[in-house]
Amino acid sequence: MSDFKRYLVIKSQVESINRKVERAKGALHSELSRLKKMFGCATIEDGQKELKRLELKRREAKKKFELELAKFEDKWTNKL
């Protein structure tokens, strides 16, 4: 393969990679915008903190539900 043909192949590969990088940047920007709009998060780190907060809130709600369900079942199991 001539040097010029190798150059063209490498150039094509670099251009392809650059397009993929630009698409990835666009996707990241889109997701950051969505995080900011939905949860007020400006960075991925903010999003991770918000996720931890929401997971904790979900676990607490699940425990409360399970407790209330157990109370309900204790009270009504024999009556239903």
Of 64, 23, 62, 28, nearest in space to 43 by CA? 28
Average pLDDT, integer, range 35-56: 92
Percent pLDDT > 90 in the chain is 76
For residue 66, how many C-alpha atoms fall within 13 Å in the half-sphere facing its CB? 6
Enter the tokens of residue 1. Answer: 């393969």
23 has pLDDT over 80: yes
24 has pLDDT over 90: yes
| pLDDT at residue number 77 | 87
pLDDT digits 0-9 by tens, 47-80: 999 999 999 999 999 999 999 999 999 999 887 6
Q: Taking the domains of the chain in order of start, what are their residue ranges?
A: 1-40, 44-80
Enter the tokens of residue 43. Answer: 């960075």
| pLDDT at residue number 6 | 94
Place of tokens 């999003």: 47
| pLDDT at residue number 79 | 79
